[in-house]
């Protein structure tokens, strides 16, 4: 509801809480020995909202900002007052922003596929929906709290936003193996990549602050690709 109301900062806060609980719910279920197939399905249904519907609406709102000065609701209501059921009402609707909902469709497909893909027990194939969501939700946070004019201009560009939408929709369903941050033991050797990524993420946050979020997600993808290349060799 916050995302629909264009209160993107507040929406981002709740999404971060959702991702936090999503990361630890499996751990708690295993500790309490209550993990089940039902829990697996409920987890995906919750992810569909937090990491599917919300990022799609946020991208819609960002695209709307760069394509029109008026909000969708205002122009729609003004038009309906004088032209109820008139075909010309569609002249007041900006259709380009709806491209942002492609993220929602791609997330739905990934989450459904994830539950039947037995290869993704200890790692991922395709970008996890929470990672995509963190990238998308970081954009309004950067606009609000970032201090780089060039980065803000890049975000407030419809072509940049469309490219981000299409690329991340593809990445979620691409056959790209990505490592998981779920540590199975305390071995430094077996968790070298994960530990390196966590350390890199902390360093990026210290240096880049809020801009670090999308950089961390891109680093996650790049490190996974490098890891896969080394493993094949």
22 closest CA partner among 2, 57, 52, 1: 52
Give residue 80's pLDDT.
43
- For residue 27, pLDDT over 90 is answered with no
What is the distance between the alpha carbons of residues 178 and 34, in angstroms, rounded to a whole number? 27
As a whole number of Å, the end-to-end CA separation of the chain is: 48
pLDDT in tens, 110-150: 999 888 877 776 678 999 999 999 999 999 999 999 888 99
Say whether 47 sits in a helix, a strand or coil: helix
Q: What size, in residues, is the chain?
A: 233
pLDDT in tens, 67-115: 875 444 444 444 444 444 455 555 556 889 999 999 999 999 999 988 8
Confidence of residue 41 (pLDDT cuts 50, 70, 90): confident
Give residue 228's pLDDT.
84
Give residue 72's pLDDT.
41
Q: Give the H/E segment covering residue 186.
A: none
What is the distance between the alpha carbons of residues 150 and 159, in angstroms, rounded to a whole number? 15
Please give the model's pTM, rounded to 2 decimal places. Answer: 0.84
Question: Where would I find the H helices in 117-211?
Answer: 129-145, 149-155, 158-172, 192-208
Which residues touch 135 (CB under 8 Å, ≥6 apart)?
164, 168, 213, 214, 217, 218
Measured between alpha carbons, how far is residue 65 from residues 97, 103, 140, 158, 233 in Å?
9, 18, 11, 9, 47
58 closest CA partner among 1, 111, 17: 1
Give residue 38's pLDDT.
87
155 closest CA partner among 140, 165, 145: 140
């Amino acid at each position: 509801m916050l995302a629909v109301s264009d209160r993107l900062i507040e929406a981002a806060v709740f999404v971060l809480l959702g991702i936090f609980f999503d990361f630890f719910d499996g751990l708690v279920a295993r500790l309490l020995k209550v993990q089940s197939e039902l829990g697996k399905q409920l987890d995906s249904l919750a992810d569909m909202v937090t990491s599917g519907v919300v990022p799609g609406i946020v991208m819609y709102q960002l695209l709307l900002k760069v394509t029109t000065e008026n909000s969708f609701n205002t122009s729609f209501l003004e038009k309906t007052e004088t032209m109820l059921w008139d075909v010309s009402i569609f002249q007041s609707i900006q259709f380009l922003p709806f491209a942002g909902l492609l993220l929602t469709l791609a997330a739905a497909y990934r989450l459904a596929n994830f539950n039947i893909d037995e290869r993704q027990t200890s790692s991922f194939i395709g970008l996890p929906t929470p990672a995509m969501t963190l990238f998308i939700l970081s954009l309004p946070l950067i606009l609000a709290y970032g201090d780089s004019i060039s980065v803000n201009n890049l975000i407030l560009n419809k072509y940049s936003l469309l490219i981000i939408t299409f690329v991340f929709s593809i990445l979620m369903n691409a056959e790209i193996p990505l490592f998981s941050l779920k540590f199975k033991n305390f071995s430094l050797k077996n968790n070298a990549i994960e530990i390196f990524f966590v350390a890199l993420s902390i360093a990026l946050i210290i240096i880049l602050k809020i801009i670090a979020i999308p950089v961390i997600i891109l680093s996650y993808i790049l490190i996974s690709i490098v890891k896969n290349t080394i493993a094949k060799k």
